[in-house]
A and B are shown apart, each in its own frame.
Chain A
Amino acid sequence: MSAKPVLDKVRDVVNEVDFNRFRFWFQLVAFVLFVYGGYLAIDLGSKLPFFSCGYNREGRAGVCYLLPLQHQLGRPLAMLFSMASLAILTGFLTFVLWFIVLNKGWCGFVCPLGTLQDWISALRRRMGIRFSNYTQGQFAQLTKIKFVLLALMILIPLGVGGGIFSRDMSPPFCLICPARMILPMFTGDFSQFTVDFSSKTAIFMTALGISITALFLVGSFVKKRFFCFFCPMSALHYLISKPALLKLKKDGSKCTRCGDCYAVCDMEIKEIADDVKTTDIMTDDCTLCLKCVASCPESGALKATFAGIPIFVSTEAGFIKRMNKGCQHGK
């Protein structure tokens, strides 16, 4: 038996995989790893490109890069512009090295906060409650928020280091990130569910953090991947996504614009269906969950590539198989 038929068979198996089930188990394993891995002495460092929250002190298997980044940027300016800033550069390079492996696939497959949103959505679906959509006008406005948050996340620590803002504002994004409150909860740590009354700034920041967490819970229940629209990590990912190895490609000549990909997209990215010219179709909101590839009925119209090698391609057979399975599940 030659190698080519074997390879083709493997490709067929992958392309016809029950994608939702595969993704569910992948996300579950990643969630357990990054929320409880610390108990097994797993430590993947502090430059991870997703919300493995550093405030989950006992269970974390690594730390989200945004936490050390904000701490480093919050150093006194004289120190920031000295040789000590080399640590920021090396930290950023390590983060980039992690990031380029999966690109925004870290959001779609690994991020514990993203997984949690998917689980809350699944709960809503089981309860028979419909989800909400943004209008295109709302979408166009909301999608900018994450870049604003990213800018604030960089500027505020610089202001703290420069003495403009109180130290109680640092690290600004972590103080308002729902992951800070929700992920430690899974290891029995509820200490983040408090309002800090030590100063006016601390009161404001901690109360804001709790308010956003409450919004996160309600929002995730009615809107798929509610928080990912506003995530500054997602914005940072997009800015450095060019050299990433995992890519989402589209062959416009094979697309019939049926809209299936748009219908399953948690982030409501319209370009995935409408744009038939761009080959590198990943946008700033995309979480690279690859549900669009799995739902595409046109062979080769959408595909995920790793270092240029197709690893998951839309096929008619795969589409039919998954549809039939979906129908069976529907029964």
Chain B
Amino acid sequence: MKDLARYCLGGMLALLLIGNVTAQTGLDEHSAHASSDVVRPRPPENATPEERRAFYQKRAAERVKAGGGGDPVAALARTAPGNATLDTAPVKRTQDKSTPAKPEEPARASGRPAGMGMAMRGGGPLWLSDSPPSRGDGAARGGMGGMMGMGGMAMGGERGGAPSKRLWLRAGSDPQKSGFAREDGEAINETLIVRPQGPIEGEALPPPVDGKKNLLFDMPVQGYYRVYASSRKLQGEVLNVSVAKAEISNFGHGGDEEERAQALVAPRVLESAPIEIVREKAPDEKTFFQLKSGDEQAFVVLQKGLPLQGARVRFVSHEGWSKEAVSDEQGRVNFQIIRDYFPPWDDFKKRFKASYLVIAEANAAEQGMFKDMPYSSVRYQTTLSGNYYPSPNDYRSYAWGLGIGLLIVLFCGTAVYLYRRRRLKPFREVRFDER
């Protein structure tokens, strides 16, 4: 048995190494592909500082003129909405794997777009997380981990009572390093919750009290609970509208089946939301669905309940890898969840809960007044966060399973055959002399 375990572990490590090498090779290829696609113009090498400054100012002006996006890749993507489903498109790598730094945060709210082109508040886009910044994510917590929540988040609540959920509003495009969203007195904030059996237009969710920073709500019935934290703020002549959304699934094994069936087919869209992202459910998706590394996941960007074409959508993985796409005429984008969980094998946890963040942005030439101030255009930004887990293909082996099974069948079959053969008594004729 000891030997078997050693062989098992040896095989496992070999597979892991192969997996690691394959994954790294794949990423490097993607990275190389992405970098070859994006050729940034550079000033001449012998240019003076004044010339360099003039060159960069000119390039920035041209970029703003081209459509406001700060990122050349986003600009490239904008020109090709048909490529929204980027199954074969290169993964854009925003950090070098050899450096520990995470993808850079968009520039502070100085009016100059960076990264995805917009920062609603200092620190990056707003998003709702089910863990505070200090705790981070990781192995599923609690006995119910992996059964409910934002793709499998553990619930709180009094024992025997209705489950409850806490969410934290965070700012930044890195699921691990994003801090708390800072208070902004100039912005108008609103938080709505849409409950499974509540009004479809949602209800206001009370802000945190007693100095706490989390939003807390009960989930008495089964179904999807959606929370929208929206913010509006004027920056120059541009109105920034940001909607951070979280969708929490609350299903149990027991409970009312009719209630569950209704919840599964209920609409998951808030028609009054200025912009939102909806995670598209697979046709065969069950109540305890968990997104796994390697899965394809589609998201739909909606504006006032209608598909939004041409929105720039970025998917950011737990480790900060990101990929961008542009929504098609149905507002749809498709991402493959990459595997970015490579701990030492002794530390591997198959229930490791990684967070992802999807950020969608769009600009609109809308005019109006905000706090008695005119604006000439609106920048919409929305986020949706969720979780994903390691794929079973990373830690399960058919070869070993079938090998062990076959070995035991052969061994036992042979043993039974030999045992029976040994017990066979050869025919022996006995003659009696009747005389």
Instruction: Report which A residues bind B (CB closer than 8 A).
Output: 46, 57, 68, 71, 74-76, 78-79, 82-84, 87, 91, 132, 161, 167, 190-191, 193-200, 202-204, 206-207, 210-211, 213-215, 217-219, 222
Contacts and interface: CB of A to CB of B under 8 A. Distances in A.
B159 A83 contact: yes
A193 B404 CA distance: 10
B134 to A, nearest CB: 24
Contacts of B8: 195, 197, 203, 207
Give the size category of B's interface with A.
Answer: 20 to 34
B401 A195 contact: yes
B159 A191 contact: no
Nearest to A211: B408
A84 B395 contact: no
Contact of B254 (A87, A193, A194, A204): A87
A167 B145 CA distance: 11
Contacts of B402: 193
Interface in B370-409: 392, 395-398, 400-402, 404-409
A132 B416 CA distance: 10
A215 B401 contact: no
Contacts of B253: 46, 68, 71
B160 interface: yes
Closest 9 CB pairs of A and B: A214-B408, A83-B160, A194-B396, A198-B350, A195-B400, A218-B412, A198-B395, A197-B12, A194-B401
B30 interface: no
Contacts of B9: 197, 203
Contacts of B416: 132, 218, 222
A83 B413 CA distance: 50
Nearest to B13: A197
Contact of B143 (A46, A79, A197, A204): A79
Nearest to A63: B253
Contacts of A210: 401, 404-405, 408
B150 to A, nearest CB: 21
B392 A191 contact: yes
B101 interface: no
A243 B194 CA distance: 49
Interface of B: 4-5, 8-9, 12, 15, 142-143, 159-160, 253-254, 286, 348-351, 392, 395-398, 400-402, 404-409, 412-413, 416
Report whether over half of chain A's contact residues are helix, strand or loop; otherwise say mixed: helix
B156 to A, nearest CB: 13
Contacts of A215: 408, 412
A315 to B, nearest CB: 38
Nearest to A45: B257
A72 to B, nearest CB: 9
Contacts of A46: 253
13 contacts: A57-B286, A83-B159, A161-B143, A167-B351, A193-B405, A194-B401, A195-B8, A195-B397, A196-B395, A198-B348, A210-B401, A211-B404, A218-B408
B-side binding surface: helix, strand, loop or mixed? helix
A198 to B, nearest CB: 4
Contacts of A74: 143
B205 to A, nearest CB: 27
B159 A84 contact: yes
B401 A206 contact: yes
A259 B351 CA distance: 56
A87 B159 CA distance: 13
Nearest to A91: B254
A199 B343 CA distance: 13
A195 B4 CA distance: 12
Nearest to B161: A83
Contact of B395 (A82, A191, A197, A200): A197
Q: Which residue among A75, A82, A211, A219 has the maximum number of chain B CB atoms within 10 Å of its CB?
A: A211
Among B4, B12, B395, residue most surrounded by chain A Cβ atoms (within 10 Å): B395
B203 to A, nearest CB: 28
Given A68-B253, A198-B350, A210-B401, A79 B396 contact: no
Given A82-B159, A197-B396, A218-B412, A203 B5 contact: yes
B253 to A, nearest CB: 7
A197 to B, nearest CB: 4
Contacts of B159: 78-79, 82-84
Nearest to B397: A195
A194 B8 CA distance: 12
